[in-house]
Structure 1
Amino acid sequence: MPNMESPVKRERDDEGSTGGGHAEPSPKRQCTKATEVTIEDDIYILEYSSELRESRSDDPNEDDLQTKFDQCKVALNQITKNEEETQTVLEYAQFRVLPAKRRIQLQDKLDVAFSQANFAEVARFFTDLVPHASDINRAGFKPCSIHPMRVPDSIFHEILRRMDSKFSQFGMPWDHQNETMQNYCLFEIFSPILDVFDGVFMDKAEVLMDSEVTKKRGRVEHRWVAFDSICAKYQELKCLGAVRGEQMLKMMAQMMLEADARATQNENLGFCIPVIGMFMALDSMQALIYHPHTRTFFLSDPVPALPTIKTDMRALIIRIRQLADHIFGLLVPAYINSLDAFLARSERLAKKENTTRESTAHWRQASTLAKEALKLGREAASTFHHGVTTHYNEGELTERIRRAREISEEAVQLLHDSIAKSPKRLVNESLRKYYMDHEKSFLEAEVLGLDPYRISPVMDSDM
């Protein structure tokens, strides 16, 4: 039997209340007791509640976690005094055991829907936030900036082509000031930029998926999963209008819950990386970046998005360009975070197995190339901005614009090189390439009304 200290139980006030007053505690969220237990010199803090659970171990070896899990059940029995109740807690409260060296506190999701979350209730789970703040500027978010990366002209032309098609079908963005229209427009900006990553990011759109980690709480419009594993970025779109103060904080609380859910999902797969959120209003965008190691949130200043009032084509194009550059500037860091997470895991496994893993060098090369691409992309944006905001003569201005275009193309090429080095990249078969390679067989089949496999045995062997 493991050496187990007698649990020191401590009563806690109900934490479902947001403070002040004498509101009745919610039975589902009431925290009853907690205990600190030592099992074979490892420390576990167990709370019989529906909120925070933490277990810490100094043993980095995860092979015996099931054993430690069983030992923790014994400790939890001393709180509940009922083995059946203990099993219910473990099954439905998602209790788990993790080594302390990950430095991650697992938090069970609040038993509230996203739309019902309030900032005072959510903020207390995170670092340095002010639960009873009345304004987002006083809420304790650490400041950060969105550094744009200049999208190459070829990609921007494709964005404009897609936007033209969307406007001709649905009208201009200021004709429909709602989330659906904004989603249609934003998709046409995101899609050509995501194509640069050649299958690295999979868009898990709300309309295409059942709720997973966020079951019973709602979902965001989009979340992007890198390498079919890591959720590195997500987006929420709200028709805010003139929303300020507590309503804005309520919106932010929903984003925070989603960030924590995404971080928990990553942690379940063995990764711990910053999660980048995009909070889109109708005419502005903010980045909300969550660092799960420190449970800290960073919030950027708003940057312009699509206009909500009628404007001329010149102003609209400038807004689209600015938004595209800022989106690109967030996607590349999300990609780099994913690469570094896989690199760290590969290095850990190599050390654990006392061997050299071939994938480690590939992840390191991919990360190095991506970071150089990020540097060049930001330089291109800075070069262009400085060129158009400084009083140069026409020749000097033309040269700076030309240089910005060249640098942006170099950055994208480095991204392509980085993706090619990634051991886990997904390569989808191209419909267009397949058709062009076998065009004759398809045309013959159409003319003769036959199955193309009967026309060309080559195609059958290719499948």
Structure 2
Amino acid sequence: MPYSCPVNCEYCKTQGAMHPPQFLSKMMGDHHHEGHGDKRGPPPQTHTVPGPSNGECNVGKGHHYPHHHHHHHTHGEHGEVIANTGPRPINTTLDIHRLPLRGHTPPITDKHHQKKNHQHHQNHDHQHYDHDHQHDFLDDRIHSRKGAESAIIHLTKKHGLDLDGVRAKALERDLEHIATSLSYSMMAQRVHLDPHAMVGDAPTFQVHRARIRSQEFRQIIQDFEILGNQYGPPADHLTEAGRSRYISAAFNHIVSWFHLMIYNRPENFVESDSPKKNGLRNYFKCFGGCTILVLDIRLNLGIGKDRLNYIAQLIAELEACNLSNEKQGFSVPIVGILCDGSSFEYFSYDGYSKSFSRGLLVAKSTPGSTAIARVTLPPITQATGVEYIRALRPLCESFYFLLLKGFLAGLEAYIRRARDYGAGDGTRNYGSESEWELALAKAVFARNKSVEAGETAIEGNVQGAEKLADEARMLLEESLTSIPSGYQRRVSLMANFEIADSLTA
């Protein structure tokens, strides 16, 4: 079968339809695989160009294809350069400057696919342009807060928008972005703090010691002893889960005093790709839905940048909890406890004002009282039993105070809902407003009595403190029984223990 040049090059037209083997790759490059179309025309006039002394062609040197015919010359049999002086052939099908380099040839696609792909990119670019153009259009016409409010009201009425739903979606998008790029600098600005102040500019609130009766505190210490013998001291654990088991001894009894009006849910609202940002969190919810306290457990709180990053994650968690509360119709301050098993710091997030504050543990309510920003337990393996127990009491009593604080906030939220919706909406009984208000009044007295008992004990009057603590617990029980019956829940096993034990084989 006679040879047919695939590109109809000048060499084949002048010397015959057969490439010398040494010229195939040298002269043609990768282009001998492409169809260059018809290049027939007047035969070129030639003249001999002296070759370089080193035998290398320097004509067109520096190009991807230094020996290709688009430099208007080719080589003769003896290496002479034959320059094309006639008119250049017209290439109507291929732009040689767009040809790929060796090894980078794109996949073959048919014209239909190319057209469809081109149309897709055009549509995408057009949509992106429209999106930016719409923003520019609005920015050019809305120059004030009042104008923005008027535009929102107009669009809400015209399209039947749910403003709460739109706001929730905007917050969810923000939280998705936060989860992938957490930093204290970002989160501080969201709660109106200066990132360079390192939380030092955050407003403060007082954390008091709500007295725990001696017999109940004894049970808490027994739990610490049991868990310490079961799991070992907190420093032995290299995971947040191990630390949390030990810390749970401080919460097990205190949370149970609220008879499931407050309960614990270990889960994560905000996920993060970085394991350093995950930690382990326990969410304390009031009446089954309203989150009032978040316990964020880390391996080591540390100082400096690591601590600030943990605080940033806590702010994000509290913001996510606030969003969840708002979806259910609640708006309450949420307490956050950041700890590593031996050090504890207290914070609070107010979703209404978007503010973040630090808690200071105070010995007394009077001005000038000693305030502690970080409560620290001594190493259990180094401290004596007396030292460790004395350090545990203020810590546990601060937890009790914060749970009472959250319980009051939850009661206030349910009062507002009962006021807004009445006793029920046809699907659920929310209870009467008067029932919730009675429960709140009793709980306020319980909180105040507990704080008074704590200050009395600090002054050295332990017997007086125990009496006040008894009164406070009675008031808390009365508050819990005043809550509407639809929210009453309790797990009760010990009342039947004697009967069951006598029947057990």
**Which residue of 448, 457, 460 corresponds with 1:384?**
457
SS at match of 1:110: helix
Residue identity matched to 1:425: Y
Q: Which deviations, in whole Å up to 9, do the C-alpha atoms of 1:244-297 show, x marking residues without a partner?
A: 222221111000000100000000000101011111134321111011111011
Residue 368 (structure 1) aligned with residue 457 (structure 2):
no
Aligned to 1:110: 175
CA contact (8 A) 2:418 2:431 kept: no
Q: Which deviations, in whole Å up to 9, do the C-alpha atoms of 1:88-130 show, x marking residues without a partner?
A: xx9xxx95269xxxxx994644335758510112222223x11
Aligned to 1:135: 198
Residue 244 (structure 1) aligned with residue 300 (structure 2):
no
* CA deviation after TM superposition for structure 1 residue 72, in Å: 4.3
Residue 345 (structure 1) aligned with residue 417 (structure 2):
yes
**Which residue of 479, 486, 492 corresponds with 1:430?**
492
Aligned to 1:155: 216
* CA deviation after TM superposition for structure 1 residue 166, in Å: 1.3
* CA deviation after TM superposition for structure 1 residue 351, in Å: 11
* CA deviation after TM superposition for structure 1 residue 152, in Å: 1.2
Aligned to 2:388: 316
SS at match of 1:163: helix
User: 2: CA distance between counterparts of 1:108 and 1:419?
Assistant: 38
Aligned to 2:270: 214
CA contact (8 A) 1:199 1:425 kept: no
Residue identity matched to 1:238: R
SS at match of 1:273: coil
List 4+ stretches of structure 1 deviating above 6 A.
Answer: 42-46, 55-58
User: 1: CA distance between counterparts of 2:238 and 2:205?
Assistant: 29
Aligned to 2:318: 259
**Which residue of 166, 172, 190 corresponds with 1:96?**
166
**Which residue of 166, 184, 188 corresponds with 1:123?**
188
Aligned CA distance change for structure 1 residues 425 and 43 (closer, same or farther; 3 Å): farther
SS at match of 2:332: coil
Residue 285 (structure 1) aligned with residue 341 (structure 2):
no
Structure showing greater radius of gyration is 2
Aligned CA distance change for structure 1 residues 306 and 114 (closer, same or farther; 3 Å): farther
CA contact (8 A) 2:211 2:451 kept: yes
Aligned CA distance change for structure 1 residues 347 and 113 (closer, same or farther; 3 Å): closer
Q: Which deviations, in whole Å up to 9, do the C-alpha atoms of 1:72-93 show, x marking residues without a partner?
A: 49xxxxxxxxxxxxxxxx9xxx
Residue identity matched to 1:336: L
Aligned to 1:402: 463
CA contact (8 A) 1:220 1:234 kept: no
- Which is worse superposed, 282-291 or 314-323? 282-291
For residues 54-203 of structure 1, what are the structure 2 equivalents within 5 Å? 70-72=159-161, 96=166, 106=171, 108-112=173-177, 116-127=181-192, 129-131=193-195, 133=196, 135-137=198-200, 140-176=201-237, 179-203=240-264
Aligned to 2:72: none
SS at match of 2:404: helix
Residue 306 (structure 1) aligned with residue 368 (structure 2):
no
Aligned to 2:356: 297
Aligned CA distance change for structure 1 residues 251 and 215 (closer, same or farther; 3 Å): closer
What is the RMSD computed on CA atoms of the aligned residues? 3.6
Aligned to 2:284: 224
CA contact (8 A) 1:173 1:306 kept: no
Q: Which deviations, in whole Å up to 9, do the C-alpha atoms of 1:3-44 show, x marking residues without a partner?
A: xxxxxxxxxxxxxxxxxxxxxxxxxxxx96485899xxx987
CA contact (8 A) 1:177 1:282 kept: no
Q: Which segments of 5 or more consecutive residues in structure 2 lack a partner in the other structure? A: 1-130, 361-372
User: 2: CA distance between counterparts of 1:351 and 1:203?
Assistant: 27
SS at match of 1:311: coil
CA contact (8 A) 2:281 2:297 kept: yes
User: 1: CA distance between counterparts of 2:447 and 2:272?
Assistant: 38
CA contact (8 A) 2:231 2:246 kept: no
Aligned CA distance change for structure 1 residues 412 and 124 (closer, same or farther; 3 Å): same
Aligned CA distance change for structure 1 residues 435 and 109 (closer, same or farther; 3 Å): farther
* CA deviation after TM superposition for structure 1 residue 229, in Å: 1.3
User: 1: CA distance between counterparts of 2:469 and 2:172?
Assistant: 41
Residue identity matched to 1:96: V
Equivalenced residue count is: 347
User: 1: CA distance between counterparts of 2:147 and 2:218?
Assistant: 58
User: 2: CA distance between counterparts of 1:237 and 1:368?
Assistant: 33
Aligned CA distance change for structure 1 residues 155 and 69 (closer, same or farther; 3 Å): farther
SS at match of 1:162: helix
- Which is worse superposed, 172-181 or 225-234? 172-181
CA contact (8 A) 1:149 1:325 kept: yes
TM-score of the superposed pair, with normalisation by structure 2: 0.61
Aligned to 2:295: 235
Residue identity matched to 1:136: V
SS at match of 1:223: strand
Q: Which deviations, in whole Å up to 9, do the C-alpha atoms of 1:282-320 show, x marking residues without a partner?
A: 432111101111101111243424323611111100111
CA contact (8 A) 1:136 1:248 kept: no
Aligned CA distance change for structure 1 residues 196 and 115 (closer, same or farther; 3 Å): farther
CA contact (8 A) 1:136 1:245 kept: no
User: 2: CA distance between counterparts of 1:361 and 1:134?
Assistant: 45
* CA deviation after TM superposition for structure 1 residue 70, in Å: 3.9
Aligned CA distance change for structure 1 residues 430 and 203 (closer, same or farther; 3 Å): same
Q: Which deviations, in whole Å up to 9, do the C-alpha atoms of 1:211-250 show, x marking residues without a partner?
A: 5x43567574200111001011111012225x22222211
CA contact (8 A) 2:178 2:316 kept: no
Aligned to 2:71: none
Residue identity matched to 1:304: V
